[in-house]
A and B are shown apart, each in its own frame.
Chain A
Amino acid sequence: MNNTDTKLTANAVIAETLDKATATDPDLLVVTCDSRGSAGLNAFTNAHPDRTIEMGIAEQNAVTVAAGMAHEGKHPFVFSPAPFLSMRSIEQVKVDVAFNKNNVKLIGISGGNSYTWLGNTHHSLNDVAITRAIPDLEVYQPCDKYQVKALFKYLLTSDKPAYVRVGKRKLDNVYHEDFEFVPGKATTIREGKDICLISTGEMLYFTLEAAKNLSELGIEAEVVDLGSIKPLDTEKIAELAQRFDHLVTVEEHDVINGIGAAVATEVAKYAYAKLDILGFPDEPAIQGSQDDVFHYYGLDAEGITNSVKNILSK
């Protein structure tokens, strides 16, 4: 599954996908909050000034104005750092976007721990928890360039509101060019019989690496991609909960109410399956490079490998 071709950031893929879509979608708009540069949208906004709505550093208003424009038939994609879009504007997301069923796509950039030393004001380790609790809002966290591209193809044709979280780093490749995104579908990307690892976004690659390490130790882990966090593939999780004695979720998110909690809700229906949730502990995160921070919290390949070994040896 692990390809060797060029690694790209999610932002680069998104900008290119939206740029191509301008040829066929006259209503496509990009709404920015003084965030064109961070979103990698300078080329897009220079090429399409008439498609660019700059709202300044005012995330709440950006979301509400986008909702008003969507009401008039526009297709706005709002870009802002994930911590601000998912927290500062959350009431606008709940009311003006989701409750009013306005077709606004909310793109949380530089998500999770991406901002490293900029500190906890800039980290978004609660965004999945809060967005997935809002009715009529879809939540996605793509893992590689192929999934980003396929997800945005879907978003461009869907009329449903959605929140997407992407990070800053160049993404390792998990899928191939022919990947097709289906909302509400969890995908097995590695088969195994001993334990099931479920992950999403950038953590998926580390989870896959951990599965390889485990294989060398004689533990065959199944790896499942939960890029579609909401809608949730409850059927697939039910099947996994019945097939495996142990499941582990891995996410770049607070352990409270992220994908672990989403999976737990389903797993709880099958009392014999044991679930462990790996993620950021419920505390202000330690500061450092993303790799160092992941290592510290046991969220790199080595940490995930060790956790799984411990879980299975209990």
Chain B
Amino acid sequence: MNTLDLKKKAVQLRKNTWQLIYNHKNGHTGSCLSCADILVALYYGVMNQTLDNLNDPDIDTYIQSKGHAVEIWYEILADKGYIKQEDLDNGYSTFNTPFIGHPTTEIKGMEFHTGSLGHGLGLGVGVALASKMNHSKKRTFVLMGDGEQAEGSIWEAAMAAGNYNLDNLIAIVDHNELQISGTTNTVMRSNPLTDKYRAFGWDVQEVNGNDVEALVEILSKENNTNKPRVIIAHTVKGKGVSFAENRADWHHKIPTEEEYQKALKEFDAQMEALENE
């Protein structure tokens, strides 16, 4: 997929996510919009995973540690045909549904139940370690939040990944500097993340996490360092909706009808601009 198509895909999926959350009055709006470009880069530009090869041991694995941003992931899996769009649109957050507010293994393509923060990196370490033992070519991608960096279990996992030189593990921090109660610097200062991961034996890269072209480039880059790689992706929480950007209260806020319509117009304008490029 070329860069323009990736950008369009990101706008389309943001819009779908916005609609899903509005229609069901449930979801992590700002968090999904923040990491949309990261997921688009992974699913359409980086990972070799498709519906047909999911069980192949050499195929890349994606683990979403910041499980609450699940609606954008659902939309991607629906777009890629892993799940039916209709099932998602009708079933999300209904009684006895598999489409809940956190990733679940009941959904094809979601390999782990996550949601409790601070688990994904350790799971990724386990998958990456076993992949090495199994002589598998699998790469393991783990998406974390920046508020989540306060969980001690992340640093246990980070230490183990460095200790075992897991160069087949790629962690991404969705670094929008906001969490539910405010900025990550006021709630619990995790910065500087770069120095911390470097000290734990990681290859550290930084990128504009809302630039899908830059994301594809850095996520595809071969790792010759013999170290696990972390990508600190500088993002904007609520990206793509002017009045939700950089606002902590949009973490899981549901748009009003007026806000809903206003954002749809913004998405359409973004799409039109891309089509005129």
> A73 to B116, Cβ gap below 8 A?
no
A100 at the interface (CB under 8 A from B): yes
A255 at the interface (CB under 8 A from B): no
The residue of chain B having its C-beta at the shortest distance from the C-beta of A55 within the complex is B160
Task: Please report the total number of A residues contacting B with Cβ < 8 Å.
Answer: 25
Binds B, one of A64-72, A185-193, A207-215: A64-72
Interface residues of A in 52-77 (CB under 8 A from B): 53, 55-56, 58, 60-61, 64-74
> A64 to B130, Cβ gap below 8 A?
no
Interface centre among B124, B126, B153 (most CB of A within 10 A): B126
Interface residues of B in 114-155 (CB under 8 A from A): 115-116, 119, 122-131, 133-134, 136, 152-153
> A58 to B129, Cβ gap below 8 A?
no
Contacts of A91 in B (CB 8 A): 116
Partner of B126, one of A56, A60, A64, A101: A64
Instruction: Report the bound CA distance from A68 to B123 in whole Å.
Output: 4
Partner of A68, one of B126, B136, B152, B153: B126
Contacts of A64 in B (CB 8 A): 119, 122-123, 125-126, 153, 157
> B133 to A74, Cβ gap below 8 A?
yes
A99 at the interface (CB under 8 A from B): yes
Instruction: Report the bound CA distance from A263 to B153 in whole Å.
Output: 36
> A66 to B126, Cβ gap below 8 A?
yes
Binds A, one of B78-86, B105-113, B178-186, B241-249: B105-113
Instruction: Report the bound CA distance from A95 to B129 in whole Å.
Output: 20
> B113 to A99, Cβ gap below 8 A?
yes
The residue of chain B having its C-beta at the shortest distance from the C-beta of A31 within the complex is B126
Partner of B122, one of A50, A68, A70, A73: A68
A56 touching B159 in the complex, CB below 8 Å, given contacts A69-B126, A96-B119: yes
Instruction: Report the bound CA distance from A69 to B123 in whole Å.
Output: 8
Instruction: Report the bound CA distance from A70 to B127 in whole Å.
Output: 8
> B157 to A65, Cβ gap below 8 A?
yes
> B130 to A60, Cβ gap below 8 A?
no
Interface centre among B127, B130, B153, B163 (most CB of A within 10 A): B130
B206 at the interface (CB under 8 A from A): no
A61 touching B129 in the complex, CB below 8 Å, given contacts A92-B119, A95-B116, A100-B112: no
The residue of chain B having its C-beta at the shortest distance from the C-beta of A51 within the complex is B133
> A73 to B130, Cβ gap below 8 A?
yes
Contacts of B217 in A (CB 8 A): none
The residue of chain B having its C-beta at the shortest distance from the C-beta of A68 within the complex is B126
> A68 to B127, Cβ gap below 8 A?
yes
Chain B 86-113 near chain A by CB (<8 Å), digits 1 or 0: 0000000000000000000100000111
Contacts of A50 in B (CB 8 A): 133
Instruction: Report the bound CA distance from A58 to B130 in whole Å.
Output: 19
Query: Interface of A with B (CB < 8 Å)?
Result: 50, 53, 55-56, 58, 60-61, 64-74, 91-92, 95-96, 99-101
Closest 9 CB pairs of A and B: A68-B126, A64-B122, A72-B130, A61-B156, A65-B126, A58-B156, A69-B130, A68-B123, A69-B126
